[in-house]
Amino acid sequence: MKNSPSICQWYLSSLLSPVCAAVGEAIILHYMDDVLVCAPNDDLLSHVLDLTINSLVAARFALQEENIQRMPPWKYLGLEIGKRTIVPQKLAVKNNIRTLADVQQLCGSLNWVKPWLGLTTEDLDPLFNLFEGGEELNSPRTLTQEARAALEKAQDCMVTRQANRCKSDLPFKFIILGKLPHLHGMIFQWERVEKSKKDKDCRDPLLIVEWVFLSHHQSRRMTRPQELVAELIQKARTRIRELAGCDFECIHIPTEVNSGQITQAMLEHVLHENEALQFALDSYTGRISIHRPAHKLIREQIQFKLSSKSVQSRRPLKALTVFTDASRTSHKSLITWKVPQIQQWEEDNCRGGRISSSS
């Protein structure tokens, strides 16, 4: 089974399926020889764990007692799961970058921890820029000053940041954060906490489940903010179905407030006018809020507000018509237009240098 992960997964599933059927409230996750058993209370957990062990032993699996983790933190697939929090296990970050292969390994590791630590695409941008250049794996690379600063920030986040374990009795929410062009989002739960003057160490009501990010490289065409928001919502809805098998109870989309206008009506106008948002919110039955939860972290990270203003005109403007084209091979972009006064066509490159003009 070492040579075939698929067979290993199938065989373990066939052994553990009867256990799952016998204890419906419990959850058993497994990948290869890594098995995680979850239950709503300690008594049921102990019972399910015993059934799981007996099932594996009966199939002649050799289990070492020291590998059975009964107390937190539990280690599963590179994560350390505590009673309330989840953090990646200690990750060895290689900062001696010499080749493109080293950059790929480093960025791959950082991409893996991003959803739990909230490392934004903007934070890691100097590291992703190291991919530019020769495409051979042994192509030389060195860390720039900006890349070193980004790597130091990533290492600091690995020590100071964490995600929360979700609570089954709380709904999931999603909020758009960040600033253009690197918007990101956060899947979270909000726990009602009774604040007391005597209790200075009051628990944080914000339970961060995961962060959601856009790709570092967007498509070559012009992308409007509404389309970036739509892409984030679509990714987040797909992710929450994978995590919890449900949809969001509320999606927070911060909206620009104009005096004398009702912002909720503005949001409805944006949704009505934008096809990408309509697809992203297809069959969504939850609430859409223009307001943000009152929390310091959210307040600091919201630097973007969706505007109802459109740069597109539904009617032709009395202005110069410009035609554009670009080549992926030569990496050149050209524009051409007809000068009304002399009725001649002229051409320019996008950098502003004149190429030619012709009648």
Answer yes or no: is pLDDT of 357 > 50: no
Task: Inform me whether the pLDDT recorded for 327 exceeds 80.
Answer: no
**Of 184, 219, 254, which Cα lies nearest the Cα of 328?**
219
Taking the alpha carbons at both ends of the chain, their separation in whole angstroms is: 73
Return the biggest CA–CA distance within the chain.
90
Residue 354, pLDDT score: 41
* For residues 33-40, average pLDDT: 90
Going by DSSP bridges, is the β-strand pair 206-213/287-289 parallel, antiparallel, or unpaired? unpaired
Query: Predicted confidence band at 343 (pLDDT cuts at 50, 70, 90)?
Result: confident
Tokens of 11: 């065989």
Instruction: Summarize the confidence of residues 98-119 as an average pLDDT.
Output: 90
Q: What is the percent of the chain with per-residue pLDDT over 90, rounded to a whole number?
A: 34
Q: What is the pLDDT at residue 262?
A: 53
Q: For residues 197 and 53, which has the higher predicted lDDT (pLDDT)?
A: 53
Strands 250-252 and 173-179: parallel
- Pair 122, 182: CB distance under 8 Å: yes
In the structure encoding, which two tokens stand for residue 340, read together? 């009304």
Q: What is the DSSP letter of 204?
A: P
Do 79 and 87 contact (CB within 8 A), yes or no? yes
Mean pLDDT computed over 132-149? 86
Mean pLDDT of 107-135: 88
pLDDT of residue 254: 81
Determine the pLDDT at residue 165: 92
- State the Cα angle at 279 between 276 and 280, rounded to 5°: 85
Instruction: Identify the sign of the CA torsion 117, 121, 125, 131.
Output: positive
Q: What percent of the chain clears pLDDT 70, i.e. is strictly above it?
A: 88
Element (H or E) spanning 29, and its range?
Answer: strand 27-31
What is the mean pLDDT of the segment spanning 67-90? 90
Rounded (5°) CA angle 73-77-79: 40
Answer yes or no: is pLDDT of 257 > 70. no
Examine the pLDDT at 201 and tell me if it is beyond 50: yes
Report the mean per-residue pLDDT for the chain: 84
Cβ atoms within 10 Å, residue 136: 10
CA-to-CA distance for 97 and 140, rounded, in angstroms? Answer: 9
Q: How large is the average pLDDT for residues 175-192?
A: 91
Average pLDDT for 110-120: 90
* pLDDT at res. 263: 65
- Residue 356 binned pLDDT confidence (cut-offs 50, 70, 90): very low
Span 102-115, average pLDDT? 90
Alpha-carbon 23 to chain mean position? 33
* Minimum mean pLDDT range among 156-165, 219-228, 348-357: 348-357
**The pLDDT value given to residue 198:** 56
Could you give the domains of the chain?
5-70 (3.30.70.270), 88-160 (3.30.70.270), 167-193+204-301 (3.10.20.370), 322-358 (no CATH)
The owner of tokens 């943000």 is 292
Q: Which two tokens stand for residue 84?
A: 């309330």
Instruction: Give the mean model confidence (pLDDT) for residues 296-315.
Output: 77
**Does 184 or 318 have the greater pLDDT score?**
184
210 — pLDDT class (breaks 50, 70, 90): very high
Antiparallel, parallel or unpaired: β 250-252 and 206-213: unpaired
